[in-house]
Amino acid sequence: MPELPEVEIVRQSLDKKIKQKSIKKVIIRNKNLRFPLPKNFSSFLMNKKIIKVDRFSKYLILNFKSGEFCLIHLGMSGTIHIIDSKKKLKFTNASFYHSPILPKKHNHIELIFNSLKVIYNDPRRFGFFELVENSEKLKSRFKNLGPEPFNLNFNMNYVFNYFKGKNKNIKTFLLDQKFVSGIGNIYASEILFLSKIYPFKKASLLTREDCKKIIYYSKKILLRAIKKGGSSIRDFKDTLGSFGNYQKEFKVYQQEGLRCKTIGCTDTIQKKIVSNRSTFFCNSCQN
How far apart are the C-alpha atoms of 213 and 197, rounded to whole Å? 9
Catalytic member of 3, 6, 148, 190: 3
- Cα–Cα distance between 25 and 23 in angstroms, integer? 6
Active site residue 124: no
Cβ count within 10 A of residue 275 = 8
Catalytic site residue from 11, 17, 48, 58: 58
Of 2, 5, 149, 199, which residue is the catalytic one?
Answer: 2
Beta partners for residue 26, in sequence order: 111
Which of these is catalytic: 19, 52, 228, 277? 277
Is 58 marked active-site?
A: yes
Task: Report the residue count for the chain.
Answer: 287
What is the CB neighbour count within 10 angstroms for residue 33?
A: 20
Cβ atoms < 10 Å from Cβ of 188: 26
- Identify whether 3 is a catalytic site residue: yes
Q: Is 2 designated active site?
A: yes
- What's the sign of the alpha-carbon dihedral 236, 237, 243, 245? negative
Measured distance CA(103)–CA(213) in Å, rounded: 43
Catalytic residues: 2-3, 58, 277
